Amino acid sequence: MASVAAKLHVFVACALLLLAVGCQASPFWPLEMGYYHDKCPQAEAIVKGVMEKAIFQNPGNGAAMIRMLFHDCFVEGCDASVLLDPTPFSPTPEKLSPPNDPTLRGFELIDAIKDALEAACPGVVSCADIVAFAARDASSILSRGKVNFEMPSGRRDGTFSNASEPLKFLVPPTSNLSDLVASFVIKGLNTEDLVILSGAHTIGRSHCSSFVSDRLNTPSDINGGLAAFLRGQCPADATPGGNDPTVMQDVVTPNKLDRQYYKNVLSHTVLFTSDAALMTSAETASMVVENAKIPGWWEDRFEKAMVKMAGIEVKTGYQGQIRKNCRAINHY
């Protein structure tokens, strides 16, 4: 009751002040566990049901949702701005930016989840929360339940999306450790978060263009056997949008979210310069060893890091909107 009364007090205060000075709601209305318990009791179950079916059909759908959360949250915060389609008024949204186009996928899956939620509870569940729930469920399903956590919700959807923004915040896979750490720090995450969240590279596929130039065409520390295999899969001139096949990021357990990634880092069998960079400092190398060798260590930290990432610069309360269509802002 106290929580309801407090929110009512904030609502009245904001209503009185809104026209004069505006009202920033996020300091008053943090994300909550079970936010949709009364508004749409079946919301999280609906998301999980769609995700289970999608991952059964193609495990890559789960990897796509985890990657989408990262690409959304690091640009404009976790507000589903990455989902917006181009319009005459906004012809170049985030999804057309090089870090997202053509490699970011899963937009149709978000559409399917949104359609199911709109049928059950019209206008209630935000697209930003859908992305967060989908990434949470993908983590659980792909880890066979070893990564299992609750995701607070109450995010609202943003109304701004521009292709220039991802270039500022999504560093490329050719990045060194200092650039990677800096990109996380600016979003309120630390070095351990970087190492832990990098573990998501144990699932999914990568386009050859993401690693050919700096890992295969020039000297690198990549394992000779893996390099030979990759040269057989990838053209030396692989370019985004051109001749650009995909390969598994983890050939040992490609469809399982687990700590194998860290074993691969230690054996120099990872694809990206950004993966290998984790061994270039004593601090991060020690974390890699811990994650590789201690059962359950990484999974526990991954749960916490995912929740932390999903809270970056969220919009709540009076900020943003609840989009009816995740690809377009509402026009009233």
Q: Does 87 show up as a binding residue in the annotation?
A: no
State the CATH number of the domain containing residue 85: 1.10.520.10
Is pLDDT of 34 > 90? yes
Q: In terms of domains, do 191 and 159 share one?
A: no
What SS3 class is residue 246?
strand
207 carries an active-site annotation: no
Q: Once rounded to an integer, what is the mean pLDDT over residues 10-18?
A: 40
Q: Does 269 show up as a binding residue in the annotation?
A: no
pLDDT by residue (tens digit) across 274-293?
999 999 999 999 999 999 99
Q: In terms of domains, do 160 and 57 share one?
A: yes
Q: In terms of domains, do 121 and 249 share one?
A: no
What SS3 class is residue 212?
helix
State the CATH number of the domain containing residue 243: 1.10.420.10
Residue 29 is predicted with a pLDDT of 81
Q: In terms of domains, do 211 and 279 share one?
A: yes
CA distance 211 to 34: 41
Residue 9 is predicted with a pLDDT of 44
Q: In terms of domains, do 153 and 193 share one?
A: no
Q: Does 154 show up as a binding residue in the annotation?
A: no
Residue 204 is predicted with a pLDDT of 96
Total number of domains constituting the chain: 2
Q: In terms of domains, do 82 and 112 share one?
A: yes
Residue 253 is predicted with a pLDDT of 96
pLDDT by residue (tens digit) across 56-90?
999 999 999 999 999 999 999 999 999 999 999 99
Q: Does 81 show up as a binding residue in the annotation?
A: yes
Picking from 17-21, 59-63, 153-157, 223-227, which range would have the lowest pLDDT averaged per residue? 17-21
Q: Once rounded to an integer, what is the mean pLDDT over residues 292-302?
A: 97
Is pLDDT of 332 > 90? no
Q: Does 250 show up as a binding residue in the annotation?
A: yes
Q: Which of 41, 40, 42, 68 is nearest to 54 (CA)?
A: 68
**Boundaries of domain holding 288:** 171-310
Report yes or no on 329 lying in a domain. Answer: no
Is pLDDT of 127 > 60? yes
| Better-scored residue on pLDDT, 27 or 153 | 153
| Better-scored residue on pLDDT, 3 or 86 | 86
> How many percent of the chain have pLDDT more than 70?
91
CA distance 315 to 164: 21
| Catalytic position from the list 9, 37, 71, 207 | 71
Q: Which of 134, 132, 131, 114 is nearest to 123 (CA)?
A: 114
Q: Does 201 show up as a binding residue in the annotation?
A: yes
Q: In terms of domains, do 150 and 214 share one?
A: no
Using an 8 Å Cβ cutoff, are 62 and 48 in contact?
no
> How many percent of the chain have pLDDT more than 90?
90
Is pLDDT of 258 > 70? yes
Q: What stretches of 173-275 adopt beta strand conformation (E)?
A: 205-207, 246-248
Q: Does 193 show up as a binding residue in the annotation?
A: no
Q: In terms of domains, do 227 and 279 share one?
A: yes
Q: Which pTM was predicted?
A: 0.91
pLDDT category of residue 241 using cuts at 50, 70 and 90: confident
